[in-house]
C-alpha cells in the first residue's frame, strides 16, 4: 500500500482518532488576577471549570447562570408524562435547556431519570404536576396554549401548522404515547411526519423536533 501524499500511512488513524483518551472539557484555573465580579465562583476560579456550559458562563456561579438565562428564556414550556419512569425525560430536559425553554413540567411520577439531562436540570426550571388536569389548569391560569404532540387520528401536521408563541408542548411516554386525558385536555394536537416502517419515533427525538419547529417559527436567528 502506498503512502498518502503527505507521507502518512493511509491505513493509520484518521484525524479524529489521533488523540487518545477522552478530551478534557472546559478550562483550568483562572490565569491572572481574579475578576472583581460577584457572578464568578472562587472555587471554580481556583480549580478550573469542567462543567457542561458554554464559554460565556465559564467560572460563573450556578445561580448567576440561571439568573442570566431567566432574562432571555423563550415563552414556550415543555411537559412530558412520566408514568413509567421514562429514560427519555433527561433528554427532553437537556434539549429544553439548549433551546432555552421557559420551563419543563413532569406530569405523573415525581421522580424521573436524570442521567440523560447531563446536569442541565440545574439550569432549567423543572416543575411537577400530579396529572394532566393539574398541568392544563396551570397552563390556563397563565395564558398558555397546550399543544400535544402525538401521531394519532385527527392530529394536524407539525410541518404546516403554526405553533402558538406562548404554549406548552406536551409529550407522552415512549411506546404508548400520550394518554387519552392528555389528548383531550390539549387545545391543539400536532403530529410529526414519518415515512418509514416504524409506527413511532423516540420520545426524546420527537421533543427535539417539536422544540426546534417552535424555534424556527419564533426565534430563528
Is residue 134 assigned to a domain?
A: yes
C-alpha 185, offset from chain centre: 23
Is 80 exceeded by the pLDDT of residue 24? no
Q: What DSSP string describes 102-128?
A: SEEEEEE-S----GGGTTGGGGS-EEE
The residue-averaged pLDDT of 22-31 equals: 86
- Are residues 198 and 109 located together in one domain of the fold? yes
Is 70 exceeded by the pLDDT of residue 148? yes
Q: What is the pLDDT of residue 183?
A: 94
Is residue 39 assigned to a domain?
A: yes
- Are residues 114 and 193 located together in one domain of the fold? yes
Is 60 exceeded by the pLDDT of residue 13? no
**How many whole angstroms separate alpha carbon 77 and alpha carbon 145?**
10
- Are residues 49 and 80 located together in one domain of the fold? no
Domain count, the chain: 2
- Are residues 91 and 193 located together in one domain of the fold? yes
Is residue 12 assigned to a domain?
A: no
List, for residues 66-77, the tens digit of each pLDDT value.
999 999 999 999
Domain of residue 166 covers 73-218
Q: Count other Cβ atoms within 10 Å, centred on residue 78.
A: 26
Q: How confident is the model at residue 18 (pLDDT cuts 50, 70, 90)?
A: very low
Amino acid at each position: 500500500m502506498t503512502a498518502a501524499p503527505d507521507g502518512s500511512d493511509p491505513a493509520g488513524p484518521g484525524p479524529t482518532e489521533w488523540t487518545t483518551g477522552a478530551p478534557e472539557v472546559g478550562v483550568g484555573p483562572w490565569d491572572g488576577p481574579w475578576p472583581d465580579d460577584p457572578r464568578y465562583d472562587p472555587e471554580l476560579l481556583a480549580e478550573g471549570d469542567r462543567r457542561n456550559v458554554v464559554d460565556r458562563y465559564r467560572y460563573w456561579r450556578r445561580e448567576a447562570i440561571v439568573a442570566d438565562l431567566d432574562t432571555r428564556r423563550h415563552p414556550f414550556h415543555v411537559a412530558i408524562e412520566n408514568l413509567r419512569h421514562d429514560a427519555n425525560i433527561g433528554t427532553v430536559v437537556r434539549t429544553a435547556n439548549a433551546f432555552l425553554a421557559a420551563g419543563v413540567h413532569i406530569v405523573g411520577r415525581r421522580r424521573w431519570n436524570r442521567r440523560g439531562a447531563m446536569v442541565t436540570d440545574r439550569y432549567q426550571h423543572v416543575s411537577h404536576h400530579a396529572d394532566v388536569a393539574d398541568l392544563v389548569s396551570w397552563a390556563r391560569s397563565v395564558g398558555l396554549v397546550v399543544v400535544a404532540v402525538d401521531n394519532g387520528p385527527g392530529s394536524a401536521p407539525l410541518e404546516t401548522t403554526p405553533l402558538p408563541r406562548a404554549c406548552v408542548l406536551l409529550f407522552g411516554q415512549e411506546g404508548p404515547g400520550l394518554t387519552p386525558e392528555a389528548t383531550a385536555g390539549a387545545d391543539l394536537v400536532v403530529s410529526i411526519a414519518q415515512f418509514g416502517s416504524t409506527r413511532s419515533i423516540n420520545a426524546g427525538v420527537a421533543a427535539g423536533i417539536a422544540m426546534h419547529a417552535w424555534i424556527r417559527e419564533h426565534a430563528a436567528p
